[in-house]
Amino acid sequence: MSERPIDPEVQRQADDVRKRLAVAIPKPVVELDHENAWQLLVATILAAQATDKKINELTPALFARYPGPRELAVADLAEVERLVKQSGFFREKAKRIVGAAQVITERFGGEVPKTMDRLLTVPGVARKTANVVLGVAFRRPAGVVVDTHVTRLAGRLELSTETSPEKIEEDLMALWPKRAWIDTSHRLILHGRYVCKAKQPRCGRCPLHELCGAAEGAKETRGWKTRAAWEQRLVESKGAVDVL
């Protein structure tokens, strides 16, 4: 974790962001469909540079054919490639999930490891994937998930001036209590997915408008809690709701 002194203004900003997002997204969920830690691990590896929606379309057939790591460990690579082809970069992803299955089967008795150090020895697993699995499947706060959404929001909200995921994660871990790492990082992901988009962010309806130096245009309603209620409906409907 970063040992640099924290600017009190940045700390206040981080506290306000965390509190407002907790109102806007009280129950953050990972939108990758899964039934256990293994399925979440595979889905997260496949989701790199792909949408959760696309991954949710292809994983049912994959998991039906290969229910667990033991089955996938001895799978025909060409068949796995066919099943994950729509995920993009499918040859590399197929190699990674088969490799992950082999390591988990051979080294960990077919069980997904529950520590960061062990998970990082699995092919296709870096800190982002490990944090998703540890936090969601096991509720173990080992760090903060830093994906493209969190990277974008950390910059826009002036929570970090870093550009590498590792350094951004260090900054966010220092700003939030450990008990908040899991839910806050997933709230940031959902906020970036549905409100603070890379292109055409919904600044006027954003409950963080007053806190964001990058906000454009006027607020569409004065009270941030009203905007937070709108975001809650939006996220729960996966973007289907678009009215205040």
Supply the DSSP symbol for 217: S
**Cα Rg, the chain, nearest whole Å:** 19
Closest CA to 97 of 72, 114, 115: 72
- Domains of the chain by start residue, with CATH: 8-28+144-236 (1.10.1670.10), 37-137 (1.10.340.30)
Supply the DSSP symbol for 135: I
**Terminal-to-terminal C-alpha distance of the chain:** 39
At 142 the three-state DSSP class reads: coil
Calpha distance 81→95 (Å, rounded): 8
- Output the six-digit token pair for 9: 């203004």
Contacts of 53 (CB under 8 A, 6+ apart): 31
On whether the CB atoms of residues 207 and 231 are closer than 8 A, the answer is yes
Q: Which helix (H) or strand (E) holds 119?
A: helix 116-119
At 79 the three-state DSSP class reads: helix
Q: What is the pTM of this model?
A: 0.94
* pLDDT at 5 (0 to 100): 86
On whether the CB atoms of residues 48 and 64 are closer than 8 A, the answer is no
* pLDDT at 117 (0 to 100): 98
Closest CA to 227 of 238, 219, 239, 235: 219
Distance of CA 98 to the CA centre of its chain: 22
Calpha distance 36→40 (Å, rounded): 6
* pLDDT at 158 (0 to 100): 97
At 158 the three-state DSSP class reads: coil
- Mean pLDDT of each 10-residue bin along the chain, 244 residues long: 80 98 97 98 96 97 98 98 97 98 98 98 97 98 97 98 97 98 98 97 97 94 95 94 70
* pLDDT at 1 (0 to 100): 52
At 106 the three-state DSSP class reads: helix
* pLDDT at 243 (0 to 100): 66
* pLDDT at 242 (0 to 100): 74
Q: Which residues are catalytic?
A: 128, 147
